[in-house]
């Protein structure tokens, strides 16, 4: 891994989609701009397991990039159901650092909630068996999400990040009580997101990550345009004052949190 350039924050984009066409077409430029912004590492997320070879190849070719693999809840009814054994086998790859993204999304796909819940439980078991953190997508499904995560934790603890967290306070508090992390996306930098900023402000600082979810959800001043990992610096810059921190201090804290959760990525960093 190349170190962050002098006088730049040491940031990690904990969730992006480098295999999506908007970013893949300019991958070298995307990674170079991220490094120039102080974003020295990123985790690219596979959302359909048939695309895992492509996502894995990106991580293998770029030392700054790690990856995770799973079935996105909005795709759960369209894709073959993942298996615990299959996910555990994928997790043997040293660049794979998390299980998912998985979760529940009832906003557009409430009609598939049963298969989403089955898929989520499979991913939870894979996270438990591998010791890798679970990456959760949650939208308009707070009650079921809390119940299923608590059910899993009661059987066997596991690490977890609530990616691109934009749900309500109750789910945030429940996730934090279970020892999980909340990830801050560009949504938190939108002017009308004060309620969300308040949720993050009440969270322990050692349970927060930052991400882009690129190519989606670009923060100001790029809102409405294609997002990319470099722009996690804009989100960090907007959120640091919420905690009374400088950009550099906020970056250091969230990067330390990332290393605590994504231990495989942290070990690779030390080895580099």
Query: Is 228 among the domain residues?
Result: yes
Looking at the structure of the chain, the number of domains it has is: 1
Q: How far apart are CA 265 and CA 216, in angstroms?
A: 24
Query: Is 220 among the domain residues?
Result: yes
pLDDT score of 272: 60
Decide: helix, strand or coil at residue 252: helix
Query: Is 268 among the domain residues?
Result: no
Residue 128 sits in a domain whose CATH number is 3.20.20.140
Query: Is 5 among the domain residues?
Result: no
Q: State the first-to-last Cα distance of the chain, in angstroms, to the nearest integer.
A: 6
pTM value?
0.95
Q: How far apart are CA 232 and CA 34, in angstroms?
A: 9
pLDDT score of 6: 47
pLDDT score of 269: 77
Query: Is 1 among the domain residues?
Result: no
Query: Is 259 among the domain residues?
Result: no
pLDDT score of 209: 98
pLDDT score of 7: 64
Query: Is 244 among the domain residues?
Result: no
Query: Is 269 among the domain residues?
Result: no
pLDDT score of 79: 96
136 contacts 125 by C-beta, under 8 angstroms = no
19 contacts 48 by C-beta, under 8 angstroms = no
Residue segments in the chain with a per-residue pLDDT below the cut of 70: 1-7, 270, 272
**Residue 131 belongs to domain spanning:** 11-239
If we measure between CA atoms, which residue out of 68, 66, 207 comes closest to residue 132? 68
Q: How far apart are CA 88 and CA 133, in angstroms?
A: 12
pLDDT score of 42: 98
Buried b / exposed e along 172-194 (16+ C-beta atoms within 10 A):
bebbbebebbbbbbbbbbbeebe
The string of DSSP codes covering 182-208 is EEE-GGGGSTT-HHHHHHHHHS-GGGE
pLDDT score of 1: 42
pLDDT score of 212: 98
- Helix or strand holding residue 37 (H, E): none
């Amino acid at each position: 891994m190349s170190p962050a350039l002098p006088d730049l924050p040491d940031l990690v984009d904990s969730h992006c989609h480098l295999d999506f066409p908007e970013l893949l077409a300019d991958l070298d430029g995307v990674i170079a701009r991220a490094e120039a912004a102080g974003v020295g590492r990123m985790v690219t997320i596979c959302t359909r397991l048939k695309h895992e070879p492509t996502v894995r190849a990106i991580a293998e070719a770029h030392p700054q990039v790690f990856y995770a693999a799973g079935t996105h809840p909005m795709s759960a009814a369209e894709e073959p159901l993942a298996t615990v054994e299959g996910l555990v086998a994928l997790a043997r790859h040293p660049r794979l650092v998390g299980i998912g993204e998985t979760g529940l999304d009832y906003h557009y796909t409430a009609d598939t909630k049963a298969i989403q819940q089955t898929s989520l439980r499979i991913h939870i078991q894979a996270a438990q068996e591998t010791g890798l953190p679970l990456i959760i997508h949650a939208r308009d499904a707070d009650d079921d999400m809390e119940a299923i995560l608590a059910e899993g934790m009661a059987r066997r603890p596991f690490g977890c990040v609530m990616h691109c967290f934009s749900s309500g306070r109750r789910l945030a508090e429940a996730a934090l009580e279970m020892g999980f992390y909340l990830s801050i996306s560009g949504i938190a930098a939108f002017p009308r997101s004060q309620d969300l900023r308040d949720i993050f402000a009440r969270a322990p600082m050692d349970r927060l990550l930052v991400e882009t979810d690129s190519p989606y959800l670009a923060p100001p001043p790029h809102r409405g345009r294609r997002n990319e990992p470099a722009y996690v610096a804009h989100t960090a810059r907007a959120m640091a004052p919420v905690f009374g921190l400088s950009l550099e201090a906020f970056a250091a804290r969230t990067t330390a949190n990332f290393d605590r959760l994504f231990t495989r990525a942290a070990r690779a960093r030390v080895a580099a």
